[in-house]
A and B are shown apart, each in its own frame.
Chain A
Amino acid sequence: MSFRVETDMHRRRRSQNLGVAVCLVLFIGLVTVLSLVKITNTGPVEGYDHAPRASVTEEASQ
């Protein structure tokens, strides 16, 4: 005999929890894909910290 009795409240709360979980996963996926698109569509980015700046080193060499 099962100790858990499935009630209408359980069904409703499972629907809520599943719906919110699916929305969160989709939102995280969307933000990840959007970030990748934004980063890959941006032009060359110079590093300003612990990395040589191409524009500065080129000027210095000339």
Chain B
Amino acid sequence: MATVAENSAQYDPVFGDYVALLKPRVMSLVVFTAFVGLMAAPVSLHPIESFCAILFIAIGGGASGSLNMWWDADIDAIMRRTKSRPIPSGRTSSDAALGLGVALSGLSVLMLGLAANWHAAAWLAFTIFFYAVIYTIWLKRITPQNIVIGGAAGAFPPLIGWVAATGAVSIEAVLMFALIFMWTPPHFWALALFMRSDYDDADVPMLTVTHGRPATRRHILAYAVLQSALAIGLAFTSIGGVIYLTVALICNTIVLKDAIHIWRRDEQASEADNFKVERAFFKFSLLYLFAHFLAILAEALLVPYGLGGWS
């Protein structure tokens, strides 16, 4: 098997390889949630300032992705899911990923500070530090709670979008953060139940392996309950309303029903139907997050017409 060292700098990268280092699929989620956070805020920015704020939040997210690929190049080369990434496949060197990550981190924080405000820029800097250093370098390889910690980093964008518009953190921003934070672990633990993870080969501790599958099922239920409480609580803040509450009630009823089902099942039952419930929970959780943030956006867009919110 070719190692990272053997592959490094094998080719001159094309421009698309640098784009791939920024994890464009993760960036699309960052753009969507940051946009909703910014639009839901009671203060509106000039469209150009809004565009710049979203762009530089996305670039900051991409920079942390590049730093993640730089540090994790050794385990990315082992895992099937990640071995075609630019560094393990030899299309770029790890030094290029480090340079790109550091340069874009600085640029994105500086430009967000200039385009919006320095409070938002400080949150973006903290998010990059949290994902690259606290999660990737420090905790990912030593704790089975790595998904919880990684999820926190992915939960910051709507909060940063809100702070970019208002200049301050509020309960609405914290609840949007908390919703993604609580959503992430059960989403990935459900995936881990029905997909044999090659994290084992890379010595990355996963809850299904370190604490067992029954414990993972209990964790999914506990997080689903907390997630539902937060999602419904968000409906009664200034960014909630009838539309959001309706979406939240429907989505969280489905999630809780499936989470209870997962908790009560054993491995024999799951294997008998090829993890039907776990697969359904995973698929629905993708729609769940999108539906909640789309409902928040709808409430914000309908306010000028006297339809959104509680008023």
Which A residues fall within an 8 A CB radius of B?
9, 11-13, 15-16, 18-20, 30, 33-34, 37-38, 41
Q: List 14 A-B contacts (CB under 8 A).
A: A9-B12, A12-B11, A12-B13, A16-B13, A16-B18, A18-B15, A19-B18, A20-B15, A30-B52, A34-B49, A34-B52, A37-B48, A38-B49, A41-B46
By secondary structure, the A interface counts as helix
Query: Does B306 interact with chain A (Cβ within 8 Å)?
Result: no
Residues of B within 8 A of A33 (CB): 48
Residues of B within 8 A of A15 (CB): 14-16
In the complex, residue of chain B having the shortest beta-carbon distance to the beta carbon of A26: B55
Query: Does B115 interact with chain A (Cβ within 8 Å)?
Result: yes
Which B residues fall within an 8 A CB radius of A?
11-16, 18, 46, 48-49, 52, 55, 114-115
CA distance A15 to B20 in the complex (A): 14
CA distance A12 to B92 in the complex (A): 12
Given contacts A34-B49, A37-B49, contact A16 B115 (CB under 8 A): no
A-B pairs with lowest CB-CB distance, top 3: A19-B15, A15-B14, A12-B12
CA distance A33 to B115 in the complex (A): 11
Of A12, A20, A37, the residue contacting B46 (CB under 8 A) is A37
CA distance A33 to B15 in the complex (A): 26
In the complex, residue of chain A having the shortest beta-carbon distance to the beta carbon of B11: A12
In the complex, residue of chain B having the shortest beta-carbon distance to the beta carbon of A23: B15
CA distance A20 to B257 in the complex (A): 50
| B12-A13 in contact (CB<8A) | yes
CA distance A41 to B14 in the complex (A): 40
